[in-house]
Structure 1
């Protein structure tokens, strides 16, 4: 039985892509992915974003902008 919901799926996307999920968590992630078209699209969007930003230098934005972006992302949880 797959107990993973969409919110948990979203929270685990980075860990999944980086290979940091344990075997049981990874299987729950994959099981949810097989059943949920919305999460399938979300994972694809994250993969495309990572690919598009791969070559971007880490220091290409100002420290102030970086802090503002990180604060905005953190406030979304």
Structure 2
């Protein structure tokens, strides 16, 4: 497995949805690649942080900017 394949499979790995062979290859790559280990750690931290956000915890301006970014995302 290379780093690009690893990145493509991170979400499925965290969801426990990888087929057994892919999970084995994923873990083997993780054991050998410190860059992907860092990437996975950052992904986990992002998920944990996002899970702590509440609608009241973000300013109206920041909320509008985020919604605008997602609205425009497919147009780019």
TM-score of Structure 1 vs Structure 2, range by shorter chain = 0.7 to 0.9
What are structure 2's unaligned runs of at least 5 residues? none
TM-score by length of 2: 0.74
Question: Which of 25, 28, 37 is the aligned partner of 1:28?
Answer: 25
Please list, as runs of the form range in 1=range in 2, the aligned pairs for 1:1-77 lying within 5 A after superposition.
Answer: 4-57=1-54, 61-62=63-64, 63-68=67-72, 71=73
Whose helix fraction is larger, Structure 1's or Structure 2's? 2
Cα separation, 2, equivalents of 1:37 and 1:64: 35
Q: CA RMSD in A?
A: 2.1
What are structure 1's unaligned runs of at least 5 residues? none
Higher-Rg member (1/2): 2
Q: What number of residue pairs does the alignment pair up?
A: 67
Cα separation, 2, equivalents of 1:55 and 1:37: 27
